[in-house]
Amino acid sequence: LSAAPAAAVGALNEAQRLVVRRALARRLTLIQGPPGTGKTRTACALLAACVALARNGVRPPLELAPAVPRRSRQAHQRAACAS
């Protein structure tokens, strides 16, 4: 986490910093919670940490993948089955 930009990490509370540290050591992390708990801020800090690590030649073990809405997944599956 020391390679992450100080501004992104400094804006987090201790629980959020812990999530970022743990996520950098795991392949899969799910960030969830009710509105207003800092999910977006935590995810942005995690992404900033990944970019900072990559700039220093370190590849974090996690893979970033966007969430796909259920309808889009189903449409994609139907299209794949039709071809």
Which residue numbers in the chain have pLDDT < 50?
3, 83
Q: Round to whole Å and give the CA distance between 50 and 71.
A: 30
Determine the pLDDT at residue 68: 60
Share of the chain above pLDDT 90, in %: 23
| Burial class for 29, CB neighbours closer than 10 Å (0-12, 13-18, 19+) | middle
Q: Tens of pLDDT along 36-57?
A: 999 999 999 998 888 888 888 8
pTM equals: 0.64
